[in-house]
A = this chain, B = another copy of it.
């Protein structure tokens, strides 16, 4: 768990691509990853609120899971608490300081994203709804602490 947390908060191994990445690129890539997940969260929600299509939810959950497991922490390069990717970053400086808390929100997110993909695979719409709420809660937890209001 702790190893995962450390990995997630961007303690990158020697040779990691992120170490050579420009700050603006790192910010752009993380904004892109979050927006990609947002698209797929919307898709799951639409399926829960409307006619449930099992395959749609599986595809969306798999995208979120793969990004959650991809090691996004590596994109939080030192100095990127300010800067412009597509747009100005909304990250709070606290993310770069409070390693324990970041590790916790990241771990929670990772766990619930994995579970969402598992539940999606069953086709159980009620279970998907319940898990979607849990997953959304982990997104919110990180946003509340580490992202400024619009």
Shortest Cβ distance from A93 into chain B, in angstroms?
23
Copies in the complex: 2
Residues of B within 8 A of A71 (CB): 56, 59
A interface residues, tally (CB under 8 Å): 39
Q: Give the residue name and chain of the B residue nearest to A17 (CB).
A: B46
A53-B15 in contact (CB<8A): yes
Task: Say yes or no for A13: interface residue by CB 8 A criterion.
Answer: yes
A28 in the interface (beta carbon within 8 A): yes
Q: Which residues of B contact A47 (CB under 8 A)?
A: 15, 17
Give every chain B residue within 8 A of A33 (Cβ-Cβ). Answer: 32, 36, 39
A135 contacts the other chain (CB 8 A): no
